[in-house]
Amino acid sequence: MRGGGIENPAFEAPGAAPDPQRCPDPQRCPDPGAAPAEAGPGPEEGPCGWGTCNPRALQLCNNPEGYLAAYSLLAIFQGIVVNGLVNISISTIEKRYELNSSLTGLISASYDIAFSVLSLFVSYLGERGHKPRWLAFSAFMLGLGSLIFSLPHFSSGKYEYGGSKLEDTCQTAETTFTNATCSASRNSSLHKYLYVFMLGQLLLGVGGTPLYTLGTAFIDDSVPKHMSSVYIGIGYAMSLLGPAIGYVLGGQLLNIYIDIQMPKSTKVDQDDPHWLGAWWIGFLACFFAIWLLVIPFSCFPKHLPGTAKIQAEKISETHDDGSQILVQANNIGQSFKDFPMALMILLRNPVLMSLIVASSSEALVATGFATFLPKFIENQFGKTSSFSATLGGLVLIPGAALGQVISGVLVSKCKMSCKGIIKFMISTCSVALILNTVFLFAKCGNEPFAGVSETYNGTGTLYNLTAPCNANCKCSRSMYYPVCGSDQVQYFSPCFAGCTSYIVNNMKKTYHNCSCIGKAKREKGSEDFLSEAVPGKCPTQCQVLPVFLTFFFFAVVFTFMATTPTTVAILRCVPDKQRSFALGVQLVFLRLLGTIPGPILFGVAIDKSCTLWDINECDIKGACWVYDNERMAFLLMGIKEDKSDEDPLPPDRKKTSVTRDEDDLRLRESLLLNSSGVKVYPISQRLSS
């Protein structure tokens, strides 16, 4: 066919002659009408082993199935670390190392930064190289990255949260009490571990690059065309089994205290917001497991037996622009000087670029949701971090794997052409877009929170934790210990609830004489009322979690039904000698336009919905404690609520009322103490939060 579209000899007139205008050297051009010659074993189809050591038992694995098994194991462990453990550890890392979601989004994006920088060069140089040995290098770097990512736990010391040394009840004027002050120990440098996490992610990105470029192309080289989508679909499905294991394993590890043994002076349980789980154990275990996979990849030959015959029987569907003949005639790819020409051939392929833009858009949304889905469930539906991680894994991973397998089987059984694959992708992505609107209707409202979402029983103002009922309590803004009052309103701490005493029964505290707690919300008309509170957040009244999980599961299925067909279409629409390079080009754009900005943009959106930041005694802002649920849902869908245009600050904190003279501002801030001696946090800090 001429004039665009897919070139397939099945649609050409028999005996059609090559176009001399499209071939620089007619003597080197293949005859399209000639039948493929019978190919014998290729010169680089060797036995499985190391040099002269080729045990007979290893030859049982010297086939596409054996390679697929090794590839799948490496993809599983890569998925456990990169898409499982990293994602569920984000919330814990934020709290432990005083980071906000924008910075943890940068940690997630670091993997893709390394991936995008190296993809072009690795895929180009490895196209004619020894692909299995490249995957041995991949396993080595993935293991090293896992080790580096776990190191901050061992060098940052034991976990201590500042509030443990402070009284958590209301301290009246008659009570001796020393308010928390800023010290060098509290003005920590934990946030600098951000760079260690980024280094670990960069190394993981280096290791992941050969896996999904050269590793995938090696599968396509070694199997017949009609089986390619099945093998690639199985490999991709196994790569999604990794995140499933990572989510479940990591969720269970978060039930273990971060330092394994809890100090006797620390009294926290999993319902306490200060609880941090042992996020680091999974990374350390994967470090050892991944390095073991260096051994099998180092023994595979450059080409599996039978590869030459399979390649000779394949029919090209390369886009009809002469690129296939140009690459073959000029032997492009033999040296690095051909890199610019090889890149231009791919960039001028409209089918390839359309597939790249589509997959990049899909990756932006998928990566953003995958990174912060556990955090979204935790805050939107009031679940613990470990339970949220488990739920996220049970929805994301089976849905993604199911979509990969279904699409791979459909493409193979229906024997779809490149054009048919593109139509199939458009259909699945359209359905996924409709299903993703679940974020707009299956969301929860904001639970009552005194001083944040509502006033103190009609007194005080919003966005101000201090009210007349606790003005004399000397409460510390740096100690977040939420309690649920008998009025079903959440309070920042027992102190801010005005509680002056507590009793311990069965290792559980109950706070009494809480001056800020209003009348209880009764359902059966009981007149008995006690102004008391219990530790923890109030139980959520929102019951739409099952609806959200159901719709989101099918959204994930249809989203990932486009992944395997995209890869198959890319491998078919480019010259045979540029398949690995084409995957590298696709993954570069996928990272630059999708998976790098995705977590960062979603992290910024989540930070924008924060209504209560963690601010310690040194006025350093850390992680977010409380989010506006409705605003978070709208921002994640890219919709800006009308109320977001309003100034959320009360009149006494509006920016317009603050002078621009910074010296005078600092002087006034240093004098801002209320009548009871409680520090009022600087205006500039409050404005930034």
Contact 80, 249 (CB under 8 A): yes
User: What is the CA angle 664-666-672, rounded to 5?
Assistant: 105
Got the DSSP string for 409-451?
A: HHHHHTT--HHHHHHHHHHHHHHHHHHTTHHHHS---PPPBBT
Got the DSSP string for 229-254?
A: HHHHHHHHHHHHHHHHHHHHHHHHHT
Averaged over successive runs of 10 residues, the pLDDT of the chain (689 residues) comes to 38 43 47 46 67 79 85 92 85 82 80 81 79 90 93 84 58 53 56 87 90 83 76 80 83 84 70 79 92 89 76 56 50 66 86 88 84 83 79 82 84 81 88 85 82 78 81 80 86 88 80 79 49 83 86 90 85 79 84 83 86 76 81 78 44 35 39 36 35
Instruction: Report the b/e string of 269-307 with b at 16+ CB within 10 A.
Output: eeebbbbbbbbbbbbebbbebbbebbebbbbbbbbbbbb
At residue 375, what is the residue type? K
Kindly list the structural domains of the chain, giving each domain's residue range(s) and its CATH number in brackets, ordered by start.
Answer: 56-309+323-443+543-605 (1.20.1250.20), 448-539 (no CATH), 653-689 (no CATH)
Contact 215, 587 (CB under 8 A): no
| 477 closest CA partner among 327, 678, 207 | 678
Count of Cβ atoms closer than 10 Å to residue 126 Cβ? 24
H or E element in which residue 512 lies: strand 508-514
pTM of the complete model: 0.61
Torsion 625-389-100-442 (CA) sign: negative
* The pLDDT of residue 335: 62
Contact 517, 484 (CB under 8 A): no
Contact 254, 277 (CB under 8 A): yes
- Write down how long the chain is: 689
| Separation of alpha carbons 40 and 177, rounded Å | 88
| 61 closest CA partner among 69, 53, 72 | 69
Got the DSSP string for 117-146?
A: HHHHHHHHHHTTS-HHHHHHHHHHHHHHHH
Count of Cβ atoms closer than 10 Å to residue 314 Cβ? 16
| Separation of alpha carbons 634 and 106, rounded Å | 22
The single residue listed with the structure tokens 């800090």 is 685
User: What is the CA angle 492-498-504, rounded to 5?
Assistant: 85
- Gap between the terminal Cα atoms of the chain: 62
Compute CA 338 distance to the chain's CA centroid, rounded to the nearest angstrom: 36
Task: Using DSSP, state whether 673 is helix, strand or coil.
Answer: strand
* The pLDDT of residue 317: 52
